[in-house]
Structure 1
Amino acid sequence: MAEGEELEIIKNKLDSNGWSTSGKIYPSTVCRAWMFMSLIRDEILEISLGPPLSAHETQLRRDELKRRSEEIYFQMPHELRWQPDDVERHRSMSAFQFSLQMALYQEYNMNKFLINRLPDGGSFSVKQDLVDTARKMLDGILVLCANRDKLTNNAIDFVCAIVYHGIPSAAILSVELLKQSKSPQDWRVSLPRSEIIQNLSIFIGALEWVRPSEGNYTLCIRMRKVIKRILDQVLDLPPPYSRSSRSPENSGFHDPAPADLAISSILGPQDEPDFLEWLNSVDWTRDILQDAWT
């Protein structure tokens, strides 16, 4: 173990948060980054699996975890952090650095997703921050789709990423898109409709890459079917102004469903409503990798 003058030289190469300033990625750098991510995840699981908290207590813990999660991620060296808008840097990045940055970025977003998904007094609610995080996670999956050649023998298993990060985010966005399309007068969160429809369409293609021999294949197939049905319904609906200007008796559509109405009452029986109800209410901290329909 280093000591004395040698130890001082090493300490001088670290920033105020203990990260190396050399610009190099060492094995210890990677381990330290994942250790910090795991500490946040451990606290999320403690809340999720522990005794129920009041809505106020949950909100306090949620705010604290969000703050610490952001501090941990943005204090990491530049070499570990994914910058979505830095296209030039992406092109010159090695396969190892790309995989590592994407893995940490997606895990950071997954922590935020789970924090926002913590139940308020025993019930789940969808808020803007959850939707925004889900969009970032799905964007990350699409980046992986476009760069699959960089994932070989590196930090990310593509199918695992689809199941672990893609399905939870796509589930939230699909359900909210369907609800808001059916009930445009009762928007609770802001959704960029065009972007989400395009990204979900690409994600359907990613789900088709999952082979029958892969784990959670059945879950991926059912998710693909449900997203396709949702997009069919969303795209078949007339524009909101058209629906609002036509009376129910003269329209081919029923009255818009309230945003809190059960998903099974929005979809028809052919759309596997039980599966979508599960997607809408699942506790991803408990069931994230369970294939309940194998």
Structure 2
Amino acid sequence: MATPRRNGQLSSCEPCRKSKLRCDHQSPICGRCLCHGQAERCFYHPAPLTQPRARTSRVISRRPKRQQRPDNQLVFRLDQKISSTAAPSPPSGLPPLTGEGDTLRDQHIARWTPKEKKSLGPGVLGLVSPKDIFREYEDILRAEEPDNIPTATVPTTTSSPSDPNQALLGVQVLSHLQKISWFHEIIELKNKISPGWFLGPPLTRALCDSMEQMYDRAVRNSRDTHAALATLSRQIFVNTSKDVRTHPTMNLPEYFDSISARWETVGLVFALLGTALFHTPDDDPIFTHRNPWKLEKCQLRNIATAVGEICCQFCNGAGTTSDPFCWLVNQQILTLMYGDSDYRVWQRLGDLSTIVYAFGLHQSGEDIEEKFPFFLVEIRKRVMVCAYAIDKELATSLGRPPRICSRYCVIPLPLDISYEDMVLSRSEAEKAFQNLDANGWNTEGKLTVGVRLRIVLLTSLLRESILELSLSPTTQHILARAEKLIQESRQTQQDLPSFLHWAPEEAAAGAYRFARDEGRIFAHIEFTYQEFLLHRILLKRLGINSQGLIESSLEIVTTLLDIIAMQTRPAHLMANMSWDLCYMGLPAAGILTSKLLSDNSSQMSNPSSTPFPANGRSLTIQKLNNFVSHLTFLVPPHERGYEIAQQGARFIRRVLDRILSPACPQPAPLMPDIELSENWLDGCDLNGDLDFMAWFDNIHWSQDPLLNFT
């Protein structure tokens, strides 16, 4: 840090002083050294004129001699300028981050120096692991061990963080928990709109309550809040490095009290908060009237994302895995805002797949279920379904091989029970089993979270086969395999319970417009989307423009319109339709729009092209008119995919205007055009056969679409 000299002027750093250049006295590195790549040489000597001058060598040799030890080992001398580089100054008002004399290099080396040796437990196929070989004799050997073994032979774990910077950063993270009541209120608002896929209202309520109690115990009757949080931070590091102990009779409050003082649990609160903020409007009273800290929604969302990332780094440094850590990584992927084409999202998916395998979520069996409380077993099933489905969704979006393969996993269907029944004891939950059929579906015909998870799992299993077909290096037998998968998809849908069956005749008559039909509509559009992807593969890889592609596209658009009509009836809460409209509806509408444009263009028309079904052309135009209006107004500006939705809507309007009034000039748009780049329609010839899907496939989405799984 620059210190004033006797004349009152600030001292210059050593490179600037020796070069006689003007120094800007910035700390810890001046701007001139930073621009010239001399950051490692930049430091401020407290008394530069008192440094001993380097003595010139009396004997000058043309060839430098290597100093050798008697055993012919080379001696390398360390440059004193590098070793004396000053460490960066701590922020104002905070204690020093490092010990005196530590350099950035020393800090980096210390961070990667192994403090304790940790070993990974083998999986079910750990055939060459000695521990796994003798596992079946473990009980016998334990019974024959003498009881007088000294306790000193048992290795102990590290009891405190090795880096004081981490403890200080932990204090800054814990300081945000003073707003835990406010965070809990925001999460509760989201649960009323869309309960979590694996952490529902009772679980998030118990999580926030235990976190609030932990914070209150730490700062209660303490005159120095910073010191109290520092003690809590060190204790959390100790707990994070240990395994979580559970037993079959453990209840929900007891379990969350045991995991509250862990970094993965702290990060989970902020990950849930970040997800909840996506479902909370900016003008909600919780921000305008019940916000004593005057934090804007965007600021709070950035804090939640950053704290969640920091807690993930703390857990990675501890080298242990736990159920809350699996929940945290899963929830963090859902909250990331980089965009699904960003490498960091793909990297985090790799972390999730590693944790799934390392923690054993891909294993299942009665012996495993008997060792844990009932609610934890069910949560693990749902977490595994979410991880598997996210893997398939992101692999489909990026066109990459999936990382979680079902052939190496046992992924059971979660029970179709409510969260209130899930948190009961195993004996009490047996009453809830009476409302389930033999396959685990509810008999009341409700579209519950359990129904959605089970359908998502069934369609994701199909998606894995679709990805294998799409990414296969060979095109042999693709047509036969695609037709087989289409039949498999239809058979799987037919095997669903009766309240999820879809009848085309009743759908055409408009019978599916009531609350009891939400389940069948959800299942139908999910399975129809799988068929759409298969027909799309045939078009991209074999050039086969099949009739099924047009029919499945029209069916997706029609079903989305039915869902919107069902949700806009009085006294019904409107759900977020951005995902369905952008990622399912827009590709289907693009196929239909391109088909209309191709048939309408006289110079590009082909008599052998695939025709529309009976009355299909007029019906398609009507559906696209309705769809483009919903696409414009149901994807608000702050939602993901807004710009893409507006671009797609603008293109569909242009095509419909050309088809309906070819001789008339293009009418003015009904609403002001958004600001789009001038070349967003480059390569799109409205007089020719436009490949709308080529544009759609190259979209870089502004935000991560995985919030569909929240």
1:199 is matched with which residue? Answer: 623
**Post-superposition offset of 1:125:** 3.6
Q: 1:226 aligns with which of 646, 651, 658?
A: 651
**Post-superposition offset of 1:264:** 3.6
2:530 is matched with which residue? Answer: 111
1:47 is matched with which residue? Answer: 469
Q: Aligned equivalents of 1:141 and 1:215: distance in 2? A: 18
Residue type of the alignment partner of 1:224:
A
Q: 2:558 aligns with which of 111, 114, 139?
A: 139
**Post-superposition offset of 1:160:** 1.4
Report the secondary structure of 2:555's partner residue: helix
Q: Percent identity?
A: 22
Residue type of the alignment partner of 1:215:
R
**Post-superposition offset of 1:171:** 0.2
Write out per-residue CA displacement over residues 97-138 of structure 1, whole angstroms, 9 at most, x where no aligned residue.
443332221111110000111146835442101100001001
2:584 is matched with which residue? Answer: 165
Write out per-residue CA displacement over residues 20-40 of structure 1, whole angstroms, 9 at most, x where no aligned residue.
594545765543332211100
Q: Aligned equivalents of 1:208 and 1:283: distance in 2? A: 17
Write out per-residue CA displacement over residues 229-253 of structure 1, whole angstroms, 9 at most, x where no aligned residue.
1111112348xxxxxxxxxxxxxxx
**Post-superposition offset of 1:176:** 0.6
CA contact under 8 A between 1:131 and 1:172: conserved in structure 2? yes
Kindly indicate whether residue 480 of structure 2 is the aligned counterpart of residue 69 of structure 1. no
CA contact under 8 A between 2:499 and 2:517: conserved in structure 1? no
1:235 is matched with which residue? Answer: 660
Kindly indicate whether residue 593 of structure 2 is the aligned counterpart of residue 174 of structure 1. yes
TM-score, scaled relative to structure 2:
0.31
Q: CA 1:46 to 1:290, structure 2 compared with 1: closer, same or farther past 3 Å?
A: farther
Kindly indicate whether residue 626 of structure 2 is the aligned counterpart of residue 216 of structure 1. no
Report the secondary structure of 1:126's partner residue: coil
**Post-superposition offset of 1:149:** 2.9
After superposition, the CA RMSD in angstroms is 3.5
CA contact under 8 A between 1:19 and 1:77: conserved in structure 2? no
**Post-superposition offset of 1:168:** 0.8
2:175 is matched with which residue? Answer: none
CA contact under 8 A between 1:73 and 1:108: conserved in structure 2? yes
Write out per-residue CA displacement over residues 14-60 of structure 1, whole angstroms, 9 at most, x where no aligned residue.
3xxx4659454576554333221110012112222x33222x42112
- Name the structure, 1 or 2, with higher relative contact order (CA <8 Å, separation 6+): 1
1:253 is matched with which residue? Answer: none
Q: 1:35 aligns with which of 452, 457, 460?
A: 457
**Post-superposition offset of 1:147:** 2.2
Higher relative helix content? 1
Q: 2:610 aligns with which of 186, 189, 201?
A: 189
Q: Aligned equivalents of 2:545 and 2:660: distance in 1? A: 23
Residue type of the alignment partner of 1:69:
S
**Post-superposition offset of 1:265:** 4.2
1:255 is matched with which residue? Answer: none
**Post-superposition offset of 1:153:** 6.0
CA contact under 8 A between 2:538 and 2:545: conserved in structure 1? no
Q: CA 1:89 to 1:172, structure 2 compared with 1: closer, same or farther past 3 Å?
A: closer
Write out per-residue CA displacement over residues 140-180 of structure 1, whole angstroms, 9 at most, x where no aligned residue.
121123223369668x6312111122101100000011001
Residue type of the alignment partner of 2:581:
I
1:249 is matched with which residue? Answer: none
Report the secondary structure of 1:147's partner residue: helix
Q: CA 1:174 to 1:29, structure 2 compared with 1: closer, same or farther past 3 Å?
A: closer
Q: Aligned equivalents of 1:201 and 1:291: distance in 2? A: 26
TM-score, scaled relative to structure 1:
0.70
Structure 1 unaligned regions, length at least 5: 239-262
CA contact under 8 A between 1:162 and 1:207: conserved in structure 2? yes
Q: CA 1:44 to 1:99, structure 2 compared with 1: closer, same or farther past 3 Å?
A: same
CA contact under 8 A between 1:58 and 1:120: conserved in structure 2? no
Report the secondary structure of 1:44's partner residue: helix
Write out per-residue CA displacement over residues 177-200 of structure 1, whole angstroms, 9 at most, x where no aligned residue.
100111455251122211111111
Q: How many residues align?
A: 245
CA contact under 8 A between 2:486 and 2:534: conserved in structure 1? yes
CA contact under 8 A between 1:144 and 1:158: conserved in structure 2? no
Report the secondary structure of 2:541's partner residue: coil
Q: Aligned equivalents of 1:88 and 1:175: distance in 2? A: 27
Q: CA 1:24 to 1:195, structure 2 compared with 1: closer, same or farther past 3 Å?
A: closer
Q: How does 1:150-161 map to 2 (within 5 A)?
A: 157-161=576-580
CA contact under 8 A between 1:59 and 1:120: conserved in structure 2? no
Report the secondary structure of 1:33's partner residue: helix
CA contact under 8 A between 1:106 and 1:137: conserved in structure 2? yes
Q: CA 1:214 to 1:152, structure 2 compared with 1: closer, same or farther past 3 Å?
A: farther
Q: Aligned equivalents of 1:227 and 1:187: distance in 2? A: 25
Structure 2 unaligned regions, length at least 5: 1-369, 371-425, 664-682, 704-710
Report the secondary structure of 1:122's partner residue: helix
Report the secondary structure of 2:537's partner residue: coil
CA contact under 8 A between 1:180 and 1:186: conserved in structure 2? no
CA contact under 8 A between 2:466 and 2:534: conserved in structure 1? yes
CA contact under 8 A between 1:141 and 1:162: conserved in structure 2? yes
**Post-superposition offset of 1:76:** 0.7
Q: Aligned equivalents of 1:31 and 1:199: distance in 2? A: 29
